[in-house]
Chains A and B, each alone.
Chain A
Amino acid sequence: MNKPIRRVAIACLLLFAILLVNDNVVQYANAKTLRDKPGNTRLLFQQYDRKRGDIVTATGVTIASSVPTNDTLKYLRTYSNGPLFAPVTGFYSIIYGGSQIESADNSILAGTDDRLFGVQQLSNLITGRTPQGGNVVLTIDPVLQQVAYTALAGRKGAVVAVDPSTGAILAMVTSPSYDPNVLSSHNQASITQDWEKLIADPTNPMLDRALNQTYPPGSTFKLITAAAALSTGQYTPTTVIPAPTTLPLPQSTSVLHNFAGESCGGQATLIQALTISCNTAFGELGLTIGQAALQAQADAFGFDSTYSVPMKSAQSVFPTDLSDANTIQSAIGQYDVRATPLQMAMVAAAIANGGVEMKPYLVDELVGPDLRIIDQTKPTELRRAVSTEVAAELTQMMESVVQKGTGTSAQIKGVTVAGKTGTAQNAVGAAPHAWFVAFAPAVQPTIAIAVLVENGGGNNDATGGAVAAPIAKAVIQAELKKP
């Protein structure tokens, strides 16, 4: 009976062959799909098994760290001063994943990044010991961050401050904020509950207003219209342009008014028109130089593209296919023009930096768990927004705004501040958004800033000069006070 035994032996081998093939399917071919299944908590446990790296400010203050616990997840993610830094750190949750730096630099923090691979990691690979995560050192100055947050005083809005010469983001504040600690807890029920509460909150505290929300830029956009005009070579700050009391909008019965129905004196120099933020003058200037020039200048400042800081920003927009009426409205930052606070900070920064826009960044260094510097951000030029000459002319005009125009409340004793206000209509009956963009000192600036207060903080008479400029002033003062 050896023949059937041999056949049965072959059948048995076949059974094992099927098992081996199946094993390859499960553990190799389908492994990734299985690992990525939403219900798979193993990766999560794996992540919580190792010490996640710290997030540290430019001054060395640790704002996010992992502390050992006694429960099944070995480390608890903890944020010091959570609401203040939430738009930067983001959250790290067992249920909802992560956001902001926690998400953007996850591989470094979690310790899985290939760049962390060194001698230490090689030995870990052999022993199978879990490596520690690396640290992320930010460009954020906690003092400026705090000053901006305090100045916003809970009103809906955002502040972005950058170093114009490098692009380093010094402060990135959004208000109202939330405490990421509630989402990083290990209690699933409370996380879900708090998440639902945050999502349902009408003030939208988890929205990163600085990066991810666009607003009509209003009069701050006049900087771009002015830049477009100056760049044509046919204008200087002293060129006299028409500045009527009202400007009829072509093909419509509407007219464009100046703020509070004021007159601009019939005609004004470019510098005067900017100083008093004359709508009719810039409306007509925009129509004169044309939508193509406006579009080109807006794009040269970064509109219609996104920034990665490393979180990707929302795209600021200059609309296309404009009628003459719409061109006039767009030239003063209304109609469908939309900008993020980051975008307007970058406009100020580009002007401050002689027309060159530096790539904005939030992460200064990536440091390994062994304190070896893995990556250091080198400031890079993003593009040239305007020529050095035009930048100088714009600076001169912005200084005038603060000295004797709409932005006088941003004046700082002993320092020349260059700025531009904006009071942007956004919805019928709603209070306008208050904007202020600025940089200081006017010569060799160290800070460029954009402040936005949604609906002027609920005050119908609010203007950029009254509401937003003092916030910018406080932050600039804090920056200039630094040794």
Chain B
Amino acid sequence: MTSAAAGATGLVKAIKPRRPRTRRSVELAMLVFAVIIALAAYADVGLTRSQHVPPDILTYGLGLGALVLLAHIAIRRFAKYADPLLLPCAALLNGLGLVLIHRLDLVAPKASRSDATLQLAWSAVGIVGFIAVLVIVRDHRRLQRFTYTSMLLGLILLAIPSVLPARFSEVNGARNWIRFAGFSIQPGEFAKVLLVIFVAGFLVAKRDALALAGRRFVGIDLPRGRDLGPVVLAWLVSVALLVRGRDLGMSMLFFGFFILMLYIATERLSWLLIGTLLFAGGTYVAYHLFGHVRERFEIWLHPFAHAQGSGYQLVQALYGFATGGLMGTGLGNGRPDLVPFANSDFIMATVGEELGLTGLMAILLVYVVIVSRGLRASLSVRDSFGKLLAAGLSVCLAVQVFVVVGGVMRLIPLTGITTPFLSYGGSSLVSNWILLALLVRISDAGRRPAPAPPPRPDDAMTQVIPL
């Protein structure tokens, strides 16, 4: 009897909600670690290139440190229960990206220009954007209200380069830029975030129709014809990107996250099947209709046949990876400058050459951590919109890394797309910091203890009665 009573009390204790730990000090410690790694890499570059620790390491360190500290304080203040690993991982990638860009600056033909300083400024803008999102978006569910606004904005951003004259929109053959007054932004990077918000909101509203209506055909649940509309729209957007903007990477990215989000919302594998078929069909048609798509495939299949021409960049990157080998040449010792655009699309070639297989795998694993923490947030958050949004943003990151790293390593055809947080470029950096802020926000919602339910009047009457 007494033991039963004790057991019952124990049970009561166990179900009494324990205040979850915020893990903010873990985040702070990891941030310090991330900044130390970046600074050590910076010192290494200086030691290798000019035999001394760069004199500006203190200002650089304080700058980076202050930025991530601000972000940390913002999380403490506005997203107390957020996942403690998201910010440090992004900070590490951003910091290493700065070092790599600085390292490439040292051997750039235009010695006067400092891409690294500019990138540091963009990092500041990105982190301000991160904080702004945390401050403004106190509850991610409020974004659902902007479902169609996001769509409109996103599509406009995507469309602008296509309607602008080429001199305002074309960079290296791809029409995916807006350029004016010495500024250039890649609208696709921002459209990416906006369209994930749209797709999440749209699917939450329409998922029942998409999931349930339809007929069964050869064991597969096929959706109704009219429900195919949005899928076809997404497909058209990605095809338009491919054809008009010659932006193979963004095209794959958009279609990738759309189809995966559709699958999550409906749990119907048929959508994956339809999506894959549509994409394959679109690619096939594009291959036969458009020279630039064919060229991409040709370079992918036979890079060494074009080693001195169109395949030069990829071939040089592959040589770089091979030269790096297991351990890499060490920061500052390789020749990553032989790869054109080494600091943007091909920054992974620099990582592979100078940090080796080991360093490249470590960086890929940092992305794995971000993506898995994002999906973890998606699992733990309670509302469907939050789930879809977090999953969509995480998938977006994963697909983007896959498309760009797979491209530079000749796993898939090469596409012009940036490496999140690492690559040089303001648009990409700012949009990814915003993306991260949304993940932080949703993870906070997921881990935040549910508000205590109002006590029911008859609760007081309930008693454990020993039998």
A residues whose Cβ falls under 8 Å from a Cβ of B: 1-9, 11-13, 15-16, 18-20, 22-24, 26-28, 30-35, 37, 39-43, 45-46, 127-130
Closest Cβ neighbor of A30 among chain B residues: B322
Known contacts A12-B398, A15-B401, A40-B319; can you find 12 more A-B pairs with CB under 8 A? A1-B387, A5-B379, A5-B387, A8-B391, A12-B372, A13-B372, A19-B402, A20-B364, A22-B406, A24-B357, A39-B304, A127-B47
0/1 string, B73-102, CB within 8 A of A gives 1: 000000000000000000000000000000
**A1 CA to B390 CA, complexed, in Å:** 13
B265 within 8 A of A: yes
Does the CB pair B384–A1 fall under 8 Å?
A: yes
Contact of A19 with B405 at beta-carbon distance under 8 Å, contacts A26-B321, A37-B304 already known: yes
Does the CB pair A31–B325 fall under 8 Å?
A: yes
**B265 contacts across to A, CB distance below 8 A:** 1
**A31 CA to B319 CA, complexed, in Å:** 8
**B325 contacts across to A, CB distance below 8 A:** 27-28, 31
Of residues 1 through 52 on chain B, the ones whose CB sits less than 8 Å from some CB of chain A are 47-48
0/1 string, B363-392, CB within 8 A of A gives 1: 011011001100100110000100110010
Give which listed residue, A8, A19, A27, A32, contacts B395 with CB less than 8 A: A8
**B391 contacts across to A, CB distance below 8 A:** 5, 8
Does the CB pair A42–B398 fall under 8 Å?
A: no
**B321 contacts across to A, CB distance below 8 A:** 23, 26-27, 31, 34
0/1 string, B275-307, CB within 8 A of A gives 1: 000000000000000000000000000001001
Does the CB pair B357–A19 fall under 8 Å?
A: no
**A30 contacts across to B, CB distance below 8 A:** 322
A72 nearest CB across to chain B (Å):
9
Give which listed residue, A9, A37, A129, contacts B319 with CB less than 8 A: A37
Does the CB pair A19–B406 fall under 8 Å?
A: yes
Does the CB pair B318–A16 fall under 8 Å?
A: no
Does the CB pair B323–A46 fall under 8 Å?
A: yes
Does the CB pair A31–B322 fall under 8 Å?
A: yes
Closest Cβ neighbor of B397 among chain A residues: A12
Q: Which of B186-194, B327-335, B447-455 contacts A (4 or more CB under 8 A)?
A: B327-335
Interface of B is mostly: helix
**A24 CA to B367 CA, complexed, in Å:** 17
B315 nearest CB across to chain A (Å):
7
Name 15 A/B residue pairs within 8 A (Cβ), A-sorted.
A1-B387, A5-B379, A5-B387, A8-B375, A13-B368, A16-B371, A23-B357, A23-B409, A26-B322, A26-B409, A27-B360, A33-B322, A34-B319, A35-B323, A128-B330
Interface size for B (C-beta < 8 A) is 56
Does the CB pair B357–A27 fall under 8 Å?
A: yes
Q: Which 10 interchain pairs have the tightest Cβ spacing?
A: A128-B330, A34-B322, A27-B357, A12-B398, A31-B322, A9-B375, A4-B264, A15-B402, A22-B411, A40-B319
**A7 CA to B272 CA, complexed, in Å:** 12
**A33 contacts across to B, CB distance below 8 A:** 322
B143 within 8 A of A: no
Give which listed residue, A1, A12, A127, contacts B371 with CB less than 8 A: A12
Contact of A8 with B260 at beta-carbon distance under 8 Å, contacts A23-B364, A37-B304 already known: yes
**B352 contacts across to A, CB distance below 8 A:** 23, 26-27
Does the CB pair A127–B379 fall under 8 Å?
A: no
Closest Cβ neighbor of A15 among chain B residues: B402
Contact of A129 with B48 at beta-carbon distance under 8 Å, contacts A5-B375, A20-B364, A42-B338 already known: yes
Closest Cβ neighbor of A9 among chain B residues: B375
B356 within 8 A of A: yes
**A27 CA to B318 CA, complexed, in Å:** 9
**A22 contacts across to B, CB distance below 8 A:** 406, 409, 411
Give which listed residue, B263, B320, B399, B410, contacts A42 with CB less than 8 A: B320
**A5 contacts across to B, CB distance below 8 A:** 264, 375, 378-379, 387, 391
- Indicate the member of A11, A16, A39 with the most B CB atoms within 10 Å: A16
B345 nearest CB across to chain A (Å):
16
B residues whose Cβ falls under 8 Å from a Cβ of A: 47-48, 260, 263-265, 267, 304, 307-308, 315, 318-326, 329-333, 335, 338, 352, 356-357, 360-361, 364-365, 367-368, 371-372, 375, 378-379, 384, 387-388, 391, 394-395, 398-399, 401-402, 405-406, 409-411
Contact of A20 with B315 at beta-carbon distance under 8 Å, contacts A13-B368, A45-B335, A127-B330 already known: no
B380 nearest CB across to chain A (Å):
9
Does the CB pair A8–B364 fall under 8 Å?
A: no
Give which listed residue, B48, B264, B322, B384, contacts A8 with CB less than 8 A: B264
Closest Cβ neighbor of B338 among chain A residues: A42
Does the CB pair B368–A16 fall under 8 Å?
A: yes
Closest Cβ neighbor of B308 among chain A residues: A39
**A31 CA to B320 CA, complexed, in Å:** 10
**A15 contacts across to B, CB distance below 8 A:** 398-399, 401-402
Does the CB pair A19–B322 fall under 8 Å?
A: no
Give which listed residue, A4, A9, A31, A35, contacts B263 with CB less than 8 A: A4
Closest Cβ neighbor of A34 among chain B residues: B322
**A362 CA to B320 CA, complexed, in Å:** 37
**B365 contacts across to A, CB distance below 8 A:** 16
**A28 contacts across to B, CB distance below 8 A:** 325-326, 357
Does the CB pair B361–A23 fall under 8 Å?
A: yes
Give which listed residue, A11, A19, A34, contacts B364 with CB less than 8 A: A19
Does the CB pair B267–A34 fall under 8 Å?
A: no
A2 nearest CB across to chain B (Å):
5
Does the CB pair A39–B307 fall under 8 Å?
A: yes
B44 nearest CB across to chain A (Å):
8
A50 nearest CB across to chain B (Å):
11
Does the CB pair A43–B371 fall under 8 Å?
A: no
Does the CB pair B304–A16 fall under 8 Å?
A: no
B51 nearest CB across to chain A (Å):
9
Does the CB pair A1–B361 fall under 8 Å?
A: no
A51 nearest CB across to chain B (Å):
15
**A42 contacts across to B, CB distance below 8 A:** 319-320, 323, 335, 338
**A357 CA to B338 CA, complexed, in Å:** 52
- Indicate the member of A7, A12, A41, A42 with the most B CB atoms within 10 Å: A12
B329 nearest CB across to chain A (Å):
6
Does the CB pair A16–B398 fall under 8 Å?
A: yes
**A254 CA to B304 CA, complexed, in Å:** 62
Does the CB pair B335–A26 fall under 8 Å?
A: no
Does the CB pair A2–B379 fall under 8 Å?
A: yes
**B326 contacts across to A, CB distance below 8 A:** 27-28
**A46 CA to B326 CA, complexed, in Å:** 17
**B367 contacts across to A, CB distance below 8 A:** 16
**A82 CA to B263 CA, complexed, in Å:** 73
**A31 CA to B411 CA, complexed, in Å:** 15
Contact of A130 with B333 at beta-carbon distance under 8 Å, contacts A8-B375, A28-B357 already known: yes
Does the CB pair B402–A27 fall under 8 Å?
A: no
**A391 CA to B179 CA, complexed, in Å:** 90
Closest Cβ neighbor of B402 among chain A residues: A15
**A239 CA to B133 CA, complexed, in Å:** 112
**B318 contacts across to A, CB distance below 8 A:** 26, 34
- Indicate the member of A3, A19, A30, A40 with the most B CB atoms within 10 Å: A19
**B323 contacts across to A, CB distance below 8 A:** 35, 42-43, 46
**B260 contacts across to A, CB distance below 8 A:** 8, 11
Contact of A18 with B375 at beta-carbon distance under 8 Å, contacts A3-B267, A42-B319, A128-B48 already known: no
Does the CB pair B394–A35 fall under 8 Å?
A: no
**B387 contacts across to A, CB distance below 8 A:** 1-2, 5
Contact of A1 with B322 at beta-carbon distance under 8 Å, contacts A22-B406, A42-B335, A128-B329 already known: no
Does the CB pair A19–B48 fall under 8 Å?
A: no
Contact of A18 with B364 at beta-carbon distance under 8 Å, contacts A4-B264, A31-B322, A42-B338 already known: no
**B329 contacts across to A, CB distance below 8 A:** 128
**A5 CA to B261 CA, complexed, in Å:** 9
Give which listed residue, B332, B338, B357, B375, contacts A12 with CB less than 8 A: B375
**B263 contacts across to A, CB distance below 8 A:** 4, 7-8
Closest Cβ neighbor of B256 among chain A residues: A15
**A127 CA to B360 CA, complexed, in Å:** 19
B170 nearest CB across to chain A (Å):
30
Closest Cβ neighbor of B329 among chain A residues: A128
